[in-house]
Amino acid sequence: MYIVGITGASGSLIGIRMIEKLLGLGLETGVVVSNDGYKTISHELNSNANIIEIVKNKLPKANLSLLIEFSIDDFFCSPATGNSNWQALIIAPCSMNTLSAIACGCSDNLIKRAASVALKENRKLILIPRESPLSLINIKSMLAVKEAGGNIVLPVPEFYTFPKTIDDVVDSVVNRSLRLLELETNQKSCFSK
């Protein structure tokens, strides 16, 4: 299972696109959305639906039997323990609150706990922080996560690919993350016209 965490930082499209790509590859995908993540989704997508409904509406052909939503405060589910067999956690977008908590070992919700499990079990951890400019505290937190074995992917456009839409930018960030997971996909975005 691949787990996608969506926090309250701007850029919820990145997390939803990651879910789309993982499902498109036929991979079991878990998703955890923080309370602030749902607020940001509501604002950015103009939707008060839960993540399963959002994916169902955006991806009518997706195999939703592969998608599992975990509650942000459920510490008894598989992402909360190293005894379960999940491969990777991608936090997209990752708020600075979540980044700094992971960097100092705080695990007060399921996204942060799963990140702690990923680091202690040497599983893949990718954080896509959405903040600019970065403070020294942000940079030190990123360094701490990187030194502990995680990866930081900044949502920076690849201008040499001549992105024309927000979807192009989102796809480049998601594809870069998938390459770190040794997964490849050329799917078109559900947001593309």
Tell me the pLDDT tens digit for each residue of 71-89: 999 999 999 999 999 999 9
Residue 103, H or E segment: helix 96-103
Sequence-distant contacts of 177-180: CB under 8 A, at least 24 apart: 177/18, 177/90, 177/92, 177/126, 177/128, 177/153, 178/18, 178/21, 180/124, 180/126, 180/151, 180/153
Q: What band does 63 get if pLDDT is binned at 50, 70 and 90?
A: confident
Read off the pLDDT of residues 18-46 as tens digits, 9 standing for 90 and up: 999 999 999 999 999 999 999 999 999 99
Q: Is the pLDDT of residue 56 over 90?
A: no
Please tell me what DSSP assigns to residue 62. S
Cα(93)–Cα(115) distance, rounded to whole angstroms? 14
Cα(8)–Cα(39) distance, rounded to whole angstroms? 7
Q: What is the mean pLDDT of the chain?
A: 93
Two tokens, residue 152: 């930081």
Q: What band does 60 get if pLDDT is binned at 50, 70 and 90?
A: confident
The predicted pLDDT at position 59 comes to 79
Which of 21, 47, 3 is closest to 189 using CA atoms?
Answer: 21
Residue 72, helix vs strand vs coil:
coil
Q: Is the pLDDT of residue 65 over 90?
A: yes
| 53 and 26 Cβ atoms separated by less than 8 Å | no
Q: What band does 126 get if pLDDT is binned at 50, 70 and 90?
A: very high
The predicted pLDDT at position 193 comes to 46
Percentage, residues of the chain above pLDDT 90: 84
Stretch 85-109: mean pLDDT, rounded? 97
Count Cβ atoms below 10 Å from residue 49 Cβ, excluding itself. 14
| 54 and 14 Cβ atoms separated by less than 8 Å | no
Residue 68, helix vs strand vs coil:
strand
CATH match for 2-180 among 3.40.50.1950, 3.10.450.50, 3.40.50.300, 3.40.50.1820: 3.40.50.1950
The model scores a pTM over 0.85: yes
Q: What band does 170 get if pLDDT is binned at 50, 70 and 90?
A: very high
Q: Is the pLDDT of residue 124 over 60?
A: yes
Weakest mean pLDDT among 6-10, 35-39, 157-161, 163-167 = 157-161
| 16 and 47 Cβ atoms separated by less than 8 Å | no
Helices 12-24 and 51-58 cross at an angle (nearest 10°) of 60
The predicted pLDDT at position 157 comes to 86
